[in-house]
A = this chain, B = another copy of it.
Amino acid sequence: MTDDLRSAGAPTLEDVARAAGVSRATVSRVVNGVRNVDPVIQEAVRRAVSVTGYTPNRAARSLVTRRADAIALVVSGAGVEPGAAEESEDTTESGDGSSFTAQVLADPFFGRVVTGVVNYLRPRGMHPVLMFAESSRSREEVVAYLRQGSADGALVVSTHAEDPLPALIAEAGLAAVLFARPARPVPVSYVDLAHQDGARLAAEHLLGRGCRRTATISGPLDVPAGQARLTGFRDTMARHGHPYIPVVEGQFTQESGEAAMERLLAEHPDLDGVFAANDLMALGACHVLREHGRSVPGDVAVVGFDDSSAALACRPPLTTVRQPVEGMAAEMTRLLLDRLARPDGPVTSVIFEPELVVRGSA
């Protein structure tokens, strides 16, 4: 507690070394847990560390280790076509940006991803930096951030299949792992869900409870997940002797689910089962069904997808296909850290199996 120890600013290695009567190198070894240090000295150094209140300076360490001990968690949005539209995009950037982020983050799905990422990162002394990439400018910023060495790699969660970010990162030779398979092949690892299998579970459940006239509200057909869920549902139904399944395309929103259900009901008033490609649309469908005097699941059984918070907000609570988002996010993080450890390792993909959660709606 002598004055010269706390002279200016935070204590440095030098201060600790002086207090312990050893060299900076030795203190560094102790702090970093490198062996080959006499237990007695080790103890002396530890004492000096706590006396001085020393904390290693991250920037200095990063400068020499060339590791930031941070990764970028980027939520990547719709890509604007290169060319004409690009210019106007910059003008409206702030407006677009905020509505984009607000929209994406309002979805609890995002929170689940963060949970999985943080829980894997934390015990390893690493931290996630949040970034958004919804315009070409912001995409450049993400790449620059990584090139600066501010983060060691990126975890990319795209909201849009045509997202150009993965390719940009790959071209720059930076490390990344994606959540969900990119629409166009990119030499980058990813985790994804066996969407078809999930849809199959939904179909089998509906068939199992006796539904014979089922319809489906699909997701946007230009995104792989939307497409796969529809295909999986149709295939299973066909395999069980139901070659024709009415489909209305939704946009993964509650509102689109309501509109789709209205149409379905108008065209097929006798249906007895509905598979919605996500919970929000299923929730909307339930509302419409009730308004039309149909009970759920009595008259019409409804199955959702995701097991999001909407599933529990619904009355009755939704039977749905659960996507193990937290586990997928953790695996995604593991893949990235693996890659950082062995930069020339193979590009891989890990596909998770969904699980049917039976509640009240079907």
Centre residue among A108, A111, A148 by max chain B CB count within 10 A: A111
Q: Are A313 and B315 in contact (CB under 8 A)?
A: no
A106 to B86, CA, bound (A): 34
Q: Mark A100-117, 1 if CB is under 8 A from B, else 0.
A: 011011111011101100
Given the known interface contacts A129-B129, A148-B55, A149-B59, the answer about A105 and B115 at a Cβ–Cβ threshold of 8 Å is: yes
A342 to B55, CA, bound (A): 24
Given the known interface contacts A118-B130, A312-B254, the answer about A107 and B108 at a Cβ–Cβ threshold of 8 Å is: yes
A287 to B60, CA, bound (A): 57
* A352 interface contact, C-beta 8 A: no
Specify the chain B residue showing the minimal Cβ separation from A120: B98
Q: Mark A136-147, 1 if CB is under 8 A from B, else 0.
A: 001000001101
Which residues in B have their C-beta under 8 angstroms from that of A315? 287, 290
* A326 interface contact, C-beta 8 A: yes
Q: Mark A57-100, 1 if CB is under 8 A from B, else 0.
A: 11110110000101001000000000000000000001001100
Among the listed B106, B129, B310, B314, which residue makes an inter-chain contact with A70, where contact means beta carbons less than 8 Å apart? Answer: B129
* A127 interface contact, C-beta 8 A: yes
Q: How far is the CB of A265 from chain B (nearest CB, A)?
A: 16
Among the listed B102, B147, B314, which residue makes an inter-chain contact with A326, where contact means beta carbons less than 8 Å apart? Answer: B102
Q: Are B114 and A148 in contact (CB under 8 A)?
A: no
Q: Are A73 and B130 in contact (CB under 8 A)?
A: yes
* A245 interface contact, C-beta 8 A: no
* A122 interface contact, C-beta 8 A: yes
Chain A 20-67 residues near chain B, CB threshold 8 A: 55-60, 62-63
User: What's the number of copies of this chain in the assembled complex?
Assistant: 2
* A128 interface contact, C-beta 8 A: yes
Among the listed B58, B97, B309, B310, which residue makes an inter-chain contact with A148, where contact means beta carbons less than 8 Å apart? Answer: B58
Q: Are A101 and B115 in contact (CB under 8 A)?
A: yes
Given the known interface contacts A59-B68, A104-B111, A105-B112, the answer about A119 and B148 at a Cβ–Cβ threshold of 8 Å is: no
Q: Mark A178-201, 1 if CB is under 8 A from B, else 0.
A: 000000000000000000000000
A138 to B127, CA, bound (A): 13
Q: Are B105 and A147 in contact (CB under 8 A)?
A: no
A127 to B129, CA, bound (A): 7
Q: Are B107 and A127 in contact (CB under 8 A)?
A: no
A55 to B314, CA, bound (A): 50
Q: How far is the CB of A106 from chain B (nearest CB, A)?
A: 5
Q: How far is the CB of A71 from chain B (nearest CB, A)?
A: 10
18 contacts between A and B (CB under 8 A): A10-B147, A10-B149, A55-B148, A57-B148, A58-B62, A59-B60, A59-B63, A60-B63, A97-B122, A104-B111, A106-B111, A107-B108, A107-B111, A108-B309, A127-B129, A127-B130, A287-B315, A313-B314
Given contacts A55-B148, A104-B111, 19 further A-B contacts (CB under 8 A): A55-B147, A57-B63, A57-B148, A73-B130, A98-B119, A98-B326, A106-B108, A106-B112, A106-B309, A107-B108, A107-B111, A108-B309, A110-B111, A122-B132, A127-B150, A129-B129, A129-B130, A287-B315, A310-B313
